[in-house]
Amino acid sequence: MFVVDDFVARGTQSDVARMHRDAERVLRSQGNQSGRDRMTSTTELRGANVPKGMICSTGEDLPNGHSLQARLVIINMKKGSTNTGVLSQLQDYAQTGYLAQLNANFIRWIAAAADDGVIEQYFIDALSSCAEQLPTEGHARTRDNLSQMLVGMWIYLQYAIDVGIMNLEAADIFKLQAIKTVLALSQIQAGVDKDSSDAERFVKVLQSALSMGSCHLAKQGGGCPKYYTAAGWKMTGAGRSQKIEGQGVKVGWMNDKHVFIDITAAQKVVKQLSQATGNYLGSSDRAVTKALYEANMLAEVSKDRLTIKVTVESQRRNLLYVDTNLFMDIDYDVVAPEQLFWDYDVVEPDHPILDCLDGDIPF
């Protein structure tokens, strides 16, 4: 095992980017079982050194990237969750050399099993036994990652049984506890996989951009929509100069139930904001659209494309079609602008603010 201690991306923007880049290079190479080819002094390829062990990395942060995080088994440790009594006992065993001797004996056993030609079958049986007990939800790598972790334990338990350290019944109890733990880990991994996906990140960043006033959604026919504050609009000015304005660039249109997203405009906003927050979403328009479709976030698609042709502001355009509640959680008990009762002495019939409002205004 190779230990990487305390991954914490801190410092300037370039420092943080460099740390994430280094972490990605190390962890991705391990996950892909790939090395870097090098040349000799005679410009001949020397060949790559492929990782043959396991990396255990601690830290306060997770390396960026959906595909990179899918190559990891992520364990969240709460403060105080460590059994210090057991830890102290293991530390005592380590100081007396007991653990080193135990591992040395295991290495001799596994080497003998390899010489006898049975070690490969041990691994095949262990992998099959572990994989069939794990869920298939989440990223395709998750099940294999967790199975690979259990395989090492299963082999070690086989060694313990063969040398008489543990009987079969005790090993089965240990395996049951391990499976329960890994099933809990799979739920954590599924949550991380969802949060780091292109679709989820696109939606969350765009939600933040709307609430920050970096962009806005217009009404399908033009102008400010019914619930304007949730759609990135803001009331400005005072008196007769008071009006409601869309903040930032227009990224789409909406009606009461659906939002029509201009993916190109939305991506520009999302890329700028994600870069500013240190976790850049560099996926293409096509990749994000595909991710939204695979995550069942698109309300409707056309027969030959993932957009639909819809009329917005008297123009026919191909736009992404999603439910309104994907981007905003509207409290329908809050009075919408056109439901307000305006005082005639305060707001005159030709007041500019009324240009943004629909319906009959009771004066």
**What percent of the chain shows pLDDT beyond 90?**
25
Look up residue 33 and give its amino acid. Q
User: Pick from 279, 267, 282, 139: which is nearest to 203 by CA?
Assistant: 267
Please list, residue by residue across 134-163, b when 16 or more beta carbons sit within 10 angstroms of its beta carbon and e when fewer do. beeebbebbbebbbbbbbebbbbbbbbeee
pLDDT at residue 255, as a whole number: 86
d(CA 195, CA 203): 10
d(CA 255, CA 227): 10
Residue 56: in which H helix or E strand, if any? strand 55-59
d(CA 181, CA 166): 21
Tens digit of each residue's pLDDT (9 = 90 or more) over 100-109 = 999 999 999 9
d(CA 250, CA 225): 12
- SS3 (DSSP) at 361: coil
Comparing 62 with 93, which gets the higher pLDDT? 93
pLDDT at residue 353, as a whole number: 52
Domain ranges for the chain? 1-64, 81-196, 198-356
**What percent of the chain shows pLDDT beyond 70?**
90
pLDDT at residue 151, as a whole number: 87
Distances (CA, A) of 67 to 29, 35, 118, 290: 12, 18, 35, 15
d(CA 122, CA 109): 13
* pLDDT at residue 41 tops 80: no
Distances (CA, A) of 170 to 93, 110, 149, 152: 21, 21, 20, 17
Please provide the average confidence, as pLDDT, over all residues in the chain: 82
Tens digit of each residue's pLDDT (9 = 90 or more) over 202-211 = 999 999 999 8
CA end-to-end span of the chain: 76
Tens digit of each residue's pLDDT (9 = 90 or more) over 284-305 = 899 889 989 988 899 988 888 8
Give Cα 30 to chain centroid, integer Å: 20
